């Protein structure tokens, strides 16, 4: 990410009108989403004479479920002589998921808006929408319009999507109205992009531009496989690298927002790191996540999980890396039991733990990744004992540095204590979170009592 920027696909322009937006009061009632045909899929090209290759049947129903979203926001300007308010308008897209008006979109499409307006695919009428709930950590939001007999999208099991599958992006790029673009699934399970806190993106080369955010990514049957959310581009325009939030994740978050109005995240109490070349050889596996630390009295601690354990599956799902386990835990509700398969001393063990509610206290003990390839965590009593850190030393400790990463090339090593970034002293995880990425900044570290200054840039 050091040479490109992740662009959230929305676009803003000045307008002359504004209104008010309210939070919708949610009834604790269940919602059921429409599902596409779940039979075993066969992937092949059309055969025979007189066959015209067309995707009309794939998109004709799905496009009825995609809406244009227009938001308005009042921006207060502090001008001494002539104070006035400026009105901004942003564009986005959304996907209808129920006949009575529930719509999934991106959080960044509707965040901080004063008014949210929805235009259906036929373009005949605008409807004022209310926000049901939003989840910034996955960039999913749900809004609702008071309209009946709408056409909901059919969800596809996004876990069955394959690289090379033909896909279509439907949305409202640049405000030109409903537009369909075509491409393939370029990659799966993309994470570490720095776009959302919880990432498991489907990557596609279908053209996605500003205004497509919140729109549908569908397969060749017309089933929803993802919610378009961002692109990577040096210019901010389509460059053939687009990302969509998988439909399974979007559905889970949307269901929770509709039924409860908010998402409460799970917490198990471990810091983790991915396998590198050396650890792959040691554990004899290509996938999994290594437990680097266990917070005292956390669910992980109570279950018997220990530092050095390799977590290889959760609830029967194989774990490829740390992000995958984080995503699994992050969408489970507190109180849910999780079965973990771990590798310890060359033996496979089964553990069960109960997820607890994630709060500010538990977050303070979590890890963050301020630079590509680097994870940092809080300095606990156990960490002080392990590294021989005096009680007078404050900061955050680098818990892992990936082989071949930018962090490693810049000279950061495991055990370094970040004590200052630019002119801000760092005493806690909260301080480090407030700074965000350290790329391009001066970073002061305490390495076994000696202070070093590093510039977090290869340029």
Q: Please provide the average confidence, as pLDDT, over all residues in the chain.
A: 82
| Mean pLDDT confidence for 193-202 | 81
Least confident of 6-15, 91-100, 380-389: 6-15
> Residue 183: what pLDDT?
94
**Residue 141 predicted with pLDDT over 90:** yes
pLDDT, tens digit, for every residue of 183-194?
A: 999 999 887 777
**How does residue 459 score in pLDDT terms, banded at 50, 70 and 90?**
low
> Residue 75: what pLDDT?
67
| Mean pLDDT confidence for 92-115 | 93
- Report the candidate in 313, 425, 434 with the shortest Cα–Cα distance to residue 363: 434
**How does residue 358 score in pLDDT terms, banded at 50, 70 and 90?**
low
**How does residue 313 score in pLDDT terms, banded at 50, 70 and 90?**
very high
* 211 against 2, higher pLDDT: 211
Percent of the chain with pLDDT over 90: 37
pLDDT, tens digit, for every residue of 115-138?
A: 999 999 888 889 999 999 999 889
How far is residue 321 from each of residues 28, 178, 389, 416, measured CA to CA in Å? 35, 37, 29, 24
* 391 against 228, higher pLDDT: 228
* 80 against 6, higher pLDDT: 80
Percent of the chain with pLDDT over 70: 83
Q: Enter the DSSP assignment of 74.
A: E
> Residue 41: what pLDDT?
56
Query: Which backbone phi and psi does 277 adopt, to 5 degrees?
Result: -60, -45
Same fold, 1-22+56-261 and 266-360: no
**How does residue 161 score in pLDDT terms, banded at 50, 70 and 90?**
very high
Fold for 1-22+56-261, please state it: Thrombin, subunit H (2.40.10)
Q: Tell me the catalytic residues.
A: 108, 139, 213
Least confident of 47-61, 211-225, 238-252: 47-61
| Domain spanning 368-455, CATH class | mainly beta
Residue 450: beta bridge partners? 447
- Measured between alpha carbons, how far apart are the two ends of the chain, in Å? 14
| Mean pLDDT confidence for 49-61 | 82
Rounded Cα gap, residues 403 and 194, in angstroms: 19
**Residue 17 predicted with pLDDT over 70:** no
> Residue 7: what pLDDT?
44
> Residue 363: what pLDDT?
46
- 374: Cβ contacts below 8 Å, ≥ 6 apart: 398, 400, 401, 402, 405, 407, 412
Note the maximum CA span of the chain: 80
Query: Which backbone phi and psi does 319 adopt, to 5 degrees?
Result: -100, 120
Could you state, in order of their start, the residue ranges of all structural domains in the chain?
1-22+56-261, 266-360, 368-455
> Residue 76: what pLDDT?
65
- Would you state the CATH architecture of domain 266-360? Roll (2.30)
Q: Enter the DSSP assignment of 383.
A: H
**How does residue 244 score in pLDDT terms, banded at 50, 70 and 90?**
very high
**How does residue 101 score in pLDDT terms, banded at 50, 70 and 90?**
very high
Which range of 42-51, 215-224, 366-375 scores highest in mean pLDDT? It is 215-224
| Mean pLDDT confidence for 142-167 | 93
Least confident of 36-40, 268-272, 410-414: 36-40
Q: CA angle 243-319-376, nearest 5°?
A: 75
């Amino acid at each position: 990410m050091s040479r490109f920027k992740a662009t959230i696909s929305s676009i803003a322009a000045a307008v002359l009108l504004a209104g008010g937006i309210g939070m919708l009061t949610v009834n604790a009632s269940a919602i059921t989403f429409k599902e596409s045909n779940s039979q075993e899929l066969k992937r092949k090209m059309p055969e025979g004479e007189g066959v015209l290759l067309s995707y009309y049947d794939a998109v004709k129903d799905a496009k009825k479920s995609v809406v244009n979203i227009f938001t308005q926001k009042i921006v207060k300007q502090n001008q001494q002589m002539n104070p006035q308010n400026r009105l901004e308008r942003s564009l986005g897209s959304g996907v209808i998921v129920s006949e009575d008006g529930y719509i999934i979109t991106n959080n960044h499409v509707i965040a901080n808006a004063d008014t949210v307006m929805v235009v259906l695919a036929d373009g005949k009428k605008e409807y004022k929408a209310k926000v049901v709930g939003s989840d910034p950590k996955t960039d999913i939001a749900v809004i609702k319009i008071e309209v009946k007999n709408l056409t909901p999208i059919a969800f596809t099991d996004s876990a069955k999507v394959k690289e090379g599958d033909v896909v279509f992006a439907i949305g409202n790029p640049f405000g030109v109205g409903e537009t369909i673009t075509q491409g393939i699934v370029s990659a799966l399970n993309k994470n570490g992009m720095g776009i959302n806190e919880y990432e498991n993106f489907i990557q596609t080369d279908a053209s996605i531009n500003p205004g497509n955010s919140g729109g549908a990514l569908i397969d060749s049957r017309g089933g929803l496989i993802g919610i378009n959310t961002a692109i990577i581009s040096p210019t901010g325009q389509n460059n053939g690298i687009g990302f969509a939030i998988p439909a399974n994740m979007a559905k889970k978050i949307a269901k929770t927002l509709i039924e409860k109005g908010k998402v409460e995240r799970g917490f198990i109490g471990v810091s983790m790191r991915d396998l590198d070349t050396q650890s792959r050889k040691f554990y004899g596996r290509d996938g999994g996540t290594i437990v680097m630390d266990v917070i005292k009295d956390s669910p992980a601690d109570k279950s018997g999980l220990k530092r050095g354990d390799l977590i290889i599956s959760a609830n029967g799902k194989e774990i490829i890396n740390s992000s995958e386990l984080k995503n699994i835990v992050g969408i489970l509700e507190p109180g849910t039991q999780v079965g973990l398969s771990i590798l310890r001393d060359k033996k496979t063990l089964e553990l069960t733990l109960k997820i607890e509610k994630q709060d500010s206290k538990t977050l303070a003990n979590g890890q963050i990744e301020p630079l590509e390839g680097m994870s940092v965590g809080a300095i606990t009593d156990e960490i002080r004992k392990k590294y021989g850190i005096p009680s007078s030393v404050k900061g955050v400790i680098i818990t892992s540095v990936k082989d071949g990463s930018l962090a490693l090339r810049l000279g950061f090593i495991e055990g370094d204590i970040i004590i200052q970034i630019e002119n801000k002293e760092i005493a806690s995880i909260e301080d480090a979170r407030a700074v965000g990425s350290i790329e391009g900044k001066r970073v002061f570290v305490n390495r076994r009592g000696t202070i070093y200054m590093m510039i977090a840039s290869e340029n």
